[in-house]
Structure 1
């Protein structure tokens, strides 16, 4: 499953579920997104975020990434690991399958920074 984030002027950013789910958990647990918004962004329906929300996400990720190791990954439970992803499917602990990489969070931050008119996720 994947999502496409797109600005009103057509700038797209694609993300898979493995990166998107922990990103939403991070934004919800930090208070950047409320519970309902985070939940709706987890479905493949058209959900719009405002330019103000996009800028709040970018600002938060600036600070968050400054304290996250370069090769780090944020797991679904919010913990950070620097262990490389083996891409092994963990049936016994499904949460270990999800991780938002620093590279993805950086791309998402940059996308949000340019999304001054907001973006749609679907």
Structure 2
């Protein structure tokens, strides 16, 4: 499953569930997104975020990424690891399959900085 984020001027950013779900958990747990918005963004439906939302996400990620280790991954529970992803499917503990890479979070942050008029997600 994947989502495409799009600004009104046509900029896009694609994300898969493996990166998106931990990113949403991170934003919700930090209070950047409320629980309802984070939940809606987890479905493959049209959700609109305004420019202020995009700026708030970008500002949070600026701060968060300044302390994130290079090559790190944020796991579904919010913890951070530098252990490389083996891409093995963990049937016994599905949460182990999800991690938002620092690389992807950086692209998301940059996208949010550019999304001055907000963006849609679907």
TM-score of the aligned structures, taking structure 1 as reference length: 0.99
Deviation per CA, 1:63-83, whole angstroms, max 9, x where unpaired? 000111011000000000000
The answer for the alignment partner of 1:34 in structure 2 is 34
The answer for the alignment partner of 2:9 in structure 1 is 9
Cα distance in 2 for residues equivalent to 1:55 and 1:113: 6
- Unaligned segments of structure 2, at least 5 residues: none
The answer for the alignment partner of 1:59 in structure 2 is 59
The Cα of 1:44 is off from its aligned counterpart by: 0.4
**Structure 1 residue 95 and structure 2 residue 100: aligned?**
no
- Unaligned segments of structure 1, at least 5 residues: none
Which runs of 4 or more aligned residues in structure 1 lie more than 2 Å from their structure 2 counterparts after TM superposition?
none
Cα distance in 2 for residues equivalent to 1:72 and 1:12: 24
**Structure 1 residue 84 and structure 2 residue 84: aligned?**
yes
Cα distance in 2 for residues equivalent to 1:23 and 1:93: 19
The answer for the alignment partner of 2:113 in structure 1 is 113
The answer for the alignment partner of 1:19 in structure 2 is 19
Cα distance in 2 for residues equivalent to 1:99 and 1:109: 16
Cα distance in 1 for residues equivalent to 2:92 and 2:31: 30
- Structural RMSD (CA): 0.3
The answer for the alignment partner of 1:49 in structure 2 is 49
